[in-house]
Amino acid sequence: MSKSVFEKTPESGRFCVKCGGEVNGFELRCNRTLSFKEPTCEACMCKAYDISREYFRQSMEARFEITPCIGL
């Protein structure tokens, strides 16, 4: 039995609709808050708003008190 299927499954069980990358819990919360209807990763959300990842995180924290998990 191969474990590869499980290893590829992200913790959240979601993948970005734009790039296919893993979407984590922080990104899912941002999706909900920003009214993204489908799972969208941080990089693609930044692209959508044309902002840097650093600015995105600062904005999420300042406006919505959403912070990424430690280690991200």
Q: In the complex, which residues of this chain contact Zn ion (CB under 5 A)?
A: 16, 18-19, 21, 41, 44
- Phi-psi category of residue 50: left, alpha or beta, with phi > 0 → left and psi -120 to 50 → alpha: left
Q: How far is the CB of 1 from Zn ion (least distance, A)?
A: 31
Cβ closer to Zn ion: 19 or 72?
A: 19
3-state secondary structure of 46: helix
**Shortest distance, position 21 Cβ to Zn ion, whole Å:** 5
The minimum distance between CB 58 and Zn ion, in angstroms, equals 20
Q: How far apart are CA 66 and CA 27, in angstroms?
A: 10
